[in-house]
Structure 1
Amino acid sequence: MINFGIIGTNWITHSFIAGAHATGKWNLTAVYSRKSETAQEFASKYEGKQIATYTDLHDLAKDSNISTVYIASPNILHYEQAKLFLNAGKNVILEKPSCSTVSELDDLFSTAKEKGVVLIEAFRHIQEANFKLLKQQIPRLGPIYGASIIFAQYSSRYEKVLAGEVPNIFNLEMGGGALVDLGVYCVAAAIDLFGAPQDATYWPVKIATGADGGGRLILSYPDFTVHLSHSKIYNSDSPNEIYGEKGTLVIPTITDIETITFWDPKSKKKELVQGLVKPEELNLKEEAAEFARVIEEKDGQALKRYEQHSRDVLKVMEKVRHENGLVYPGGK
């Protein structure tokens, strides 16, 4: 069992804990919150477990009962918090987006190697069985002509923006914006499927807070382009598609994939790809299982692959943010 602590007491943290416990590989041991009442209330939801609560990150870092920390705090805090726990000799599972800049991420990976611990960014969708099946289908298309990847879900927190408030998710001071919240899923999926692009261009829809509420992003490859669309200020049910010389793959959603359809240009018929599995009800279970495996087996090849993927994703994110004036504190 991997004894772990958590930072961040929101819904995604509960989802990770549920998925992690379902693998039989993880054991929640510690909870951090700035307020003692919040930490205790969060811990109380896991009856039958001995869970320590903390309001000081340095005290949590000194807890010898935990080997790993899952960080799901506001984006702008990721770098400093991850640095603290890596230096304390803890493995770190860091929610996306990992950091604000590539230089910060480089520093974290360097620290992890120096301390002999693991750092992994939590892109849960690329760990899903049906996403991996999608990736296996790519060669079937022959030469790739292009792709369209979409993730647009209206956020109830946009109502607060319309009322004149600045919630964290739409606050540049907290590292917010639609690109880093939902667009990152599209960028991560594209890079996992097609590799790092040669270039990237972003057209954001800026909202009253100065952050991006949505936008369109084009990733340029030598022989094709990938069009990405994401939003937290409107909804879309448009499918995701990958186009090739020998056919088209159609996927309703880029996360929690339920179906993959192949369209044959010769027969003009559609067929459901074989090998699909029912999506996990606990949709972070697959990533939790993979991260446990990597930690237990010390799988250097997998870590190297995940590290490069994180760098490639953040390189795109940082570039297009800065080109569009979506800058965080300190010019990040």
Structure 2
Amino acid sequence: MLKLGVIGTGGITKQFIEATQENGSWKLTSVFSRSLEKAEQFGHEFSKNVRGYRDLHQFFSEGDFDVVYIASPNSLHFEQSRQAILAGKHVIVEKPACSNPSEMKVLQRLLRRYNNVYYFEAARHFHEPNFLKIKETIKQMDVIQGATLTYMKYSSKYDDFLTGNEPNVFSLNFSGGALQDLGVYLIYDAVSWFGIPNSVSYKATKLRNGIDGKGVALLNYQDFTVTLNVGKTANSYLPSEVYGLKETLVMDNAADLTDIQLINGSEKQNLTQKSAVNPMTAEVAAFTSILQKPLSLDNKQKMEDWLAVSVQVNRVIYDLRLSEKIVFRADKEFR
């Protein structure tokens, strides 16, 4: 049984815990929140034996858990992951794993020292059957002429921003913005399906504080360009597409993959794979299979392969931000 500690008490944490319960190989034991009362209340929704913490050092030193799931504001991911690794805890950190490549390099160095610790970025769709089916299909296409990937979803926090406040997801201080929050899904798609781009650029619609509310990114490859449409201030209902020669691979959404069609003229082939109701089920299953056999060299290699993708995605996001001169507080701290 894998003992789980969590940082954060939002809806995404609840969804992750529910996926671990569905899996059946996990037990929630510890919850960290800035409010002890909130931590305890949240934990007791799942079990009266869960212990709450408001001191992070105490959480890592006294908490009875093997794996920590981190779902705090983006800018806190790095330091909390660093403390977890130093405490010998396996890490599952919500995307984006880090604010910039400098933070990522620190964690990579730590992981080489603490080579018994596993570290995963929780880009949930990366492990889903439909994501893997698209990757397999693209490999089989003779010609790739590019792609257009879209993920635009009106944020529940944007109304608050419009009243004059600055929620974490729309703050440079907390490493927010459309590209960092939703764009990471699209960049995972591009890097996993097409490889590392030769060059990138980003044109953003900036909000009053300089954060990107929405934008269009171009990822340039040797023979084609991938266009990314991302936003947190509007909704888009456009499908996403990968262009072959005569065939086009069409998906309903580049992040929430629930329908895949390969279209060639009047011919349409349904490639959709069955997905779980909880979108975190697949990633929890993937992490479980590795963490239950931590001494397996194959599992260690699999983690290293996934980490390599995380590092590449982190670099692409950073380069896109720099092309639009979007600078986080976390970037300045490493100068």
Provide the TM-score with structure 2 as the length reference.
Answer: 0.94
CA distance in 1 between partners of 2:284 and 2:108 (Å): 20
Assess if the C-alpha contact under 8 Å between 1:102 and 1:315 holds in 2: yes
Q: Percent identity?
A: 37
| C-alpha displacement of 1:220 | 0.9
CA distance in 1 between partners of 2:62 and 2:4 (Å): 10
Match in the other structure for 2:275: 279
Match in the other structure for 1:195: 195
| C-alpha displacement of 1:254 | 1.8
CA distance in 1 between partners of 2:198 and 2:20 (Å): 36
Assess if the C-alpha contact under 8 Å between 2:129 and 2:274 holds in 1: no
Match in the other structure for 1:207: 207
Provide the TM-score with structure 1 as the length reference.
Answer: 0.95
Match in the other structure for 2:253: 253
CA distance in 2 between partners of 1:178 and 1:191 (Å): 18
Q: 1:51 and 2:50 equivalent?
A: yes
Amino acid at match of 2:235: N
Q: 1:6 to 1:64 in 2, by over 3 A?
A: closer
| C-alpha displacement of 1:56 | 0.7
Match in the other structure for 1:217: 217
CA distance in 2 between partners of 1:123 and 1:172 (Å): 22
| C-alpha displacement of 1:246 | 4.3
Assess if the C-alpha contact under 8 Å between 2:175 and 2:330 holds in 1: no
Assess if the C-alpha contact under 8 Å between 1:142 and 1:246 holds in 2: no
| C-alpha displacement of 1:330 | 5.1
1:1-332 to structure 2, matched below 5 A, reads 1-47=1-47, 50-63=49-62, 65-115=64-114, 116-265=116-265, 268-273=266-271, 276-298=272-294, 299-329=299-329, 331-332=331-332
**Count of residues in Structure 1 that have an aligned counterpart in Structure 2:** 327
Amino acid at match of 1:205: T
State the superposition RMSD in angstroms.
1.4
| C-alpha displacement of 1:64 | 5.8
Name the SS for the 1:229 alignment partner. Answer: strand
| C-alpha displacement of 1:277 | 3.3
- More displaced, 249-258 or 216-225? 249-258
| C-alpha displacement of 1:296 | 2.2
Deviations 1:197-225 (A, max 9, x none): 11111011101232100100011111111
Amino acid at match of 1:85: A
Structure 1 stretches of 4+ with a deviation exceeding 6 A read none
Assess if the C-alpha contact under 8 Å between 1:171 and 1:177 holds in 2: yes
Tell me, which stretches of 5 or more residues in structure 1 are unaligned? Answer: none
Name the SS for the 1:261 alignment partner. Answer: strand
CA distance in 2 between partners of 1:15 and 1:302 (Å): 25
CA distance in 2 between partners of 1:304 and 1:155 (Å): 33
CA distance in 1 between partners of 2:330 and 2:176 (Å): 15
Assess if the C-alpha contact under 8 Å between 2:30 and 2:63 holds in 1: no
Deviations 1:239-296 (A, max 9, x none): 010011241110001233222111114xx322212xx333211110110110111222
Amino acid at match of 2:250: V
CA distance in 2 between partners of 1:175 and 1:59 (Å): 26
- More displaced, 109-118 or 199-208? 109-118
Amino acid at match of 1:102: P
CA distance in 2 between partners of 1:161 and 1:247 (Å): 42
